[in-house]
């Protein structure tokens, strides 16, 4: 099968791009021809770069011309969209349709409904733009810049009014049922929806040394959206209330928002390591007891869940959005009430003091990864989606 992938890369490498790369390699490994057309948000630079990004969100002649040439030369059986903003633009969907090539789209975030793609602003979940109310992004200045917020809102409004996505995409590949229901609720056709989550190869070369399992791990950006203040308050609470019991320290790997972290006094039990290379992260996961995830927003299908499951780690996560679809309470992790640092502290204490429970939850997570989120299962389901769409459009 010939597959044309289309993706506008972000300014910094993201989990979304790691998924895209892994999927491309998987498809090629199975004998398919895959061609990636990409632009990058790194092209934005200076005033005129921002103007170009704004205009391109509505129409980009260069991208349209380049994709049209690829369609004629590569002759793909199907086009797989990942991200079109800002330099590719949804108008390319019309170009692809004119060549009678079916289109599928992986919905990595909530940008089809919410201009900033997160359903999160001002430190809280926000769904005010749902239902065609993009103007809320401007009124609330969700991006911290009225020019940027206006650009995001206007391009969403334009794409919705022109039905670029709803009319030209044959199948929307949602990462979770939660995400699927959000799209259906906001007017996207139920018959065009399917669920296929992210995936991860469970194979991991274990060290000969027996893992110490002597700490907790947090992997992600250290900021308000990721709920890191909840971890600070939870660990501080544990040090104060349960000093007689040994609670494990927490090792933190990820980009640190200094303006955010400087607001707090960090407990001794929290060790900030900053950005950690992937090879070192494998070792960190290997020697951890469990993983804590505290995001305040609806994320898609966080790759950090699958990384933890790969390394036999249970996960503590909020009972929020789609997280309970991947992390089942009492099966492969524990769920806490969103925003409740005391409940989070309680769950941390339970797993810190119960090695047997950690082991069982970790084993369950590893089995779930193999049975539901393996590359083989992902490939079979993805190819099945491609074939269905091609048949429907033939």
pLDDT of residue 212: 77
- 81, two tokens: 């969209």
Indicate whether 243 pLDDT > 80. no
Strand ranges, E, within the chain? 2-9, 33-40, 78-83, 103-107, 120-121, 124-125, 171-174, 193-195, 215-219, 250-253, 270-274, 288-292, 315-318, 333-336
- Give the pair of three-digit tokens for residue 56: 């391109």
SS3 label, residue 159: helix
The structure tokens listed for 117 are 């793609």
Would you call 105 helix, strand, or coil by DSSP?
Answer: strand
Structural tokens at position 288:
């951890």
Q: Coil, helix or strand for 192?
A: helix
In this structure, of 47-51, 181-185, 287-291, 355-359, the range with the lowest mean pLDDT score is 47-51
Is the per-residue pLDDT at 206 higher than 60? no
* Interval 316-351: pLDDT, tens: 999 999 999 999 999 999 999 999 999 999 999 999
Q: d(Cα 188, Cα 206) in Å, to the nearest integer? A: 45
Mean pLDDT of 49-62: 91
Mean pLDDT on 131-136: 95
d(CA 11, CA 41): 5
In order of their start, the domains of the chain are: 2-199+374-393 (3.40.50.2000), 215-372 (3.40.50.2000)
* Alpha-carbon 30 to chain mean position: 25
């Amino acid at each position: 099968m010939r597959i044309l992938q289309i993706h506008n890369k972000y300014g910094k490498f993201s989990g979304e791009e790691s998924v895209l790369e892994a999927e491309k390699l998987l498809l090629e490994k199975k004998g398919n021809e895959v061609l990636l057309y990409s632009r990058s948000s790194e092209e934005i630079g200076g005033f005129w770069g921002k103007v170009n990004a704004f205009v391109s969100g509505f129409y980009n002649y260069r991208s349209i011309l380049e994709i049209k040439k690829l369609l004629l030369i590569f002759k793909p059986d199907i086009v797989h969209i990942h991200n079109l903003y800002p330099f590719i633009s949804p108008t390319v969907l019309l170009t692809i349709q004119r060549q009678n090539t079916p289109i599928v789209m992986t919905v990595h975030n909530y940008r089809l409904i919410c201009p900033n793609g997160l359903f999160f602003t001002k430190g809280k979940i926000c769904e005010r733009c749902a239902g065609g109310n993009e103007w809320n992004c401007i009124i609330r200045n969700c991006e911290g810049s009225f020019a940027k917020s206006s650009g995001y809102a206007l391009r969403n409004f334009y794409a919705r009014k022109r039905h670029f996505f709803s009319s030209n995409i044959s199948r929307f590949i949602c990462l979770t049922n939660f995400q699927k229901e959000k799209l259906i609720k906001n007017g996207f056709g139920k018959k065009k929806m399917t669920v296929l989550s992210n995936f991860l190869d469970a194979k991991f070369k274990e060290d000969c040394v027996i893992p110490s399992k002597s700490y907790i791990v947090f992997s992600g950006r250290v900021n308000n959206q990721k709920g890191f203040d909840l971890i600070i308050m939870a660990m501080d609470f544990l040090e104060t209330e349960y000093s007689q019991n040994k609670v494990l320290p927490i090792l933190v790997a990820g980009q640190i928002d200094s303006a955010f972290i400087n607001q707090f006094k960090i407990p001794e039990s929290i060790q900030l390591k900053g950005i950690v290379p992937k090879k070192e992260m494998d070792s960190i996961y290997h020697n951890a007891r469990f993983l804590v995830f505290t995001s305040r927003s609806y994320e898609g299908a966080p790759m950090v869940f699958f990384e933890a499951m790969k390394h036999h780690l249970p996960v503590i996560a909020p009972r929020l959005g789609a997280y309970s679809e991947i992390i089942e309470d009492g099966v492969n992790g524990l769920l806490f009430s969103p925003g409740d640092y005391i409940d989070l502290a309680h769950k941390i204490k339970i797993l810190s003091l119960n090695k047997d429970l950690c082991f069982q939850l970790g084993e369950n997570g590893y089995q779930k990864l193999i049975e539901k989120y393996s590359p083989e299962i992902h490939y079979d389901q993805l190819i099945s989606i491609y074939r269905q769409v091609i048949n429907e459009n033939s």
